């Protein structure tokens, strides 16, 4: 029995391949952009690792998300174990669903409005918003589409200049801006319900905060050795416990959860990312490996599937 990786971004694959190879786990790869599967057929045995990204459209893979939703439903109808399966993926591709689930779990999130329609609808929804606020795509990744507006007039100007990019799913979010006490956000990396580690991400250069080597904006030179990412060891334990409960309830196996702390010390959670990519600088400096934890999870799932086969 082997693992099957569902993915669309080749750049994110090497760390996972290395972790699976090091663990001696056999696997094959299902590149999801074009192709087909037999709906009346039976999926192969094994454990499926869902690495489909909500930002796949930015790499020209515009059909990947829609295809993956159907594929996961087929796999799970046949009882296949999918790491970050259909329910988790629905949260991955909808920040509206994320926020509703987080609030239900008693986790504080910024005030958010979901807007259907184009620029006129955005302006109408923002008219009585407290300022500052941000626009954000309902489906996205790496902070793509996030823009800060200090006034309604600023949004009007941006709309007039066609400077606000619509969300790929047609749902634009208007969200309360949280003024961070320090210029960083915190991302907690979980695998199988346990906190692997947490990092801070420097926000002084903007909102695109993917920590992976493949999408870094902080590639070091001899003159600029500092990474945007650093290990954090003092995440409030009560918040970690809430995250664990949330992940279990929402059937999310692997996730990076991001939050901001304001000047009063309140933590505001705003994103759950199921396609975690890990900072090589942090991991090398502290002898950590998120992908090794993922490989351990895959191994346990394979053993469980083999036992009942």
Write the pLDDT tens digit of every residue in 233-264: 999 999 999 999 999 999 999 999 999 999 99
- pLDDT at position 209: 47
- pLDDT at position 206: 60
Q: Is the domain of 133 the same as that of 205?
A: no
Question: How many CB atoms lie under 10 A from the CB of residue 274?
Answer: 23
Q: Is the domain of 99 the same as that of 225?
A: yes
Average pLDDT, the chain: 91
Which tokens belong to 247?
């992940």
Q: Is the domain of 86 the same as that of 184?
A: no
Range of the domain at 67: 3-92+295-308
Q: Is the domain of 76 the same as that of 99?
A: no
**Domain CATH code at residue 152:** 3.30.1490.20
pLDDT (tens digit, 9 = 90+) per residue, 176-204? 999 999 999 999 999 999 999 999 999 87
Does residue 121 contact residue 155 with C-beta atoms inside 8 Å? no
pLDDT at 222 over 80: no
Number of H helices, E strands in the chain: 9, 13
- pLDDT at position 207: 56
Q: Is the domain of 232 the same as that of 103?
A: yes
Categorize the per-residue pLDDT at 217 as very low, low, confident or very high, splitting at 50, 70 and 90. Answer: very low
Q: Is the domain of 40 the same as that of 188?
A: no
Categorize the per-residue pLDDT at 214 as very low, low, confident or very high, splitting at 50, 70 and 90. Answer: very low
Q: Is the domain of 56 the same as that of 200?
A: no
pTM (two decimals): 0.91
Q: Is the domain of 169 the same as that of 191?
A: no
- pLDDT at position 225: 40
The mean pLDDT value for 31-57 works out to: 93
Q: Is the domain of 206 the same as that of 268?
A: yes
- pLDDT at position 230: 95
**Domain CATH code at residue 102:** 3.30.470.20
Q: Is the domain of 79 the same as that of 184?
A: no
Determine the length of the chain: 309
Integer angstrom CA distances of residue 157 from 111, 216, 300: 23, 31, 54
- In the DSSP assignment, the letter for residue 55 is T
- pLDDT at position 227: 75
- pLDDT at position 203: 83
Q: Is the domain of 157 the same as that of 239?
A: no
- pLDDT at position 35: 84
Q: Is the domain of 195 the same as that of 86?
A: no
Question: Helix H segments across 34-185?
Answer: 64-77, 86-92, 95-104, 119-126, 152-160
What percent of the chain shows pLDDT beyond 90? 83
pLDDT (tens digit, 9 = 90+) per residue, 71-87? 999 999 999 999 999 99
Domain count within the chain: 3
């Amino acid at each position: 029995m082997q693992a099957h990786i569902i993915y669309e971004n080749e750049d994110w694959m090497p760390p996972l391949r290395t972790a699976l190879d090091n663990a001696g786990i056999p696997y094959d790869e299902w590149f999801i952009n074009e192709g087909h599967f037999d709906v009346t057929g039976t999926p192969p045995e094994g454990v499926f690792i869902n690495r489909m990204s909500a930002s796949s459209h930015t790499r020209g893979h515009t059909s990947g998300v829609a295809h993956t939703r159907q594929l996961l439903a087929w796999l799970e109808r046949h009882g296949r174990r999918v790491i970050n399966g259909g329910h988790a993926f629905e949260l991955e591709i909808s920040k509206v669903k994320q926020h509703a689930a987080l609030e239900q779990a008693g986790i504080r999130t910024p005030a958010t409005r979901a807007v259907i329609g184009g620029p006129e609808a955005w302006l109408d929804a923002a008219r009585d918003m407290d300022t500052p606020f941000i626009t954000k795509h309902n489906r996205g990744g790496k902070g793509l589409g996030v823009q800060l507006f200090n006034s309604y007039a600023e949004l009007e100007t941006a709309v007039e200049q066609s400077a606000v990019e619509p969300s790929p799913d047609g749902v634009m979010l208007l969200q309360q801006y949280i003024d961070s006490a320090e210029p960083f956000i915190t991302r907690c990396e979980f695998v199988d319900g346990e906190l692997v580690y947490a990092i801070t991400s420097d926000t002084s250069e903007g909102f695109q905060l993917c920590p992976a080597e493949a999408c870094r904006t902080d590639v070091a030179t001899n003159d600029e050795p500092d990474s945007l990412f650093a290990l954090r060891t003092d995440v409030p334990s009560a918040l970690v416990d809430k995250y664990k409960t949330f992940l279990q309830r929402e059937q999310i196996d692997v996730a990076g959860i991001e939050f901001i702390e304001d000047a009063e010390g309140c933590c505001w959670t705003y994103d759950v990312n199921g396609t975690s990519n890990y900072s090589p600088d942090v991991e090398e400096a502290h002898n950590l490996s998120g992908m090794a934890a993922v490989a351990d999870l895959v191994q346990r799932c394979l053993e469980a599937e083999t036992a009942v086969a």
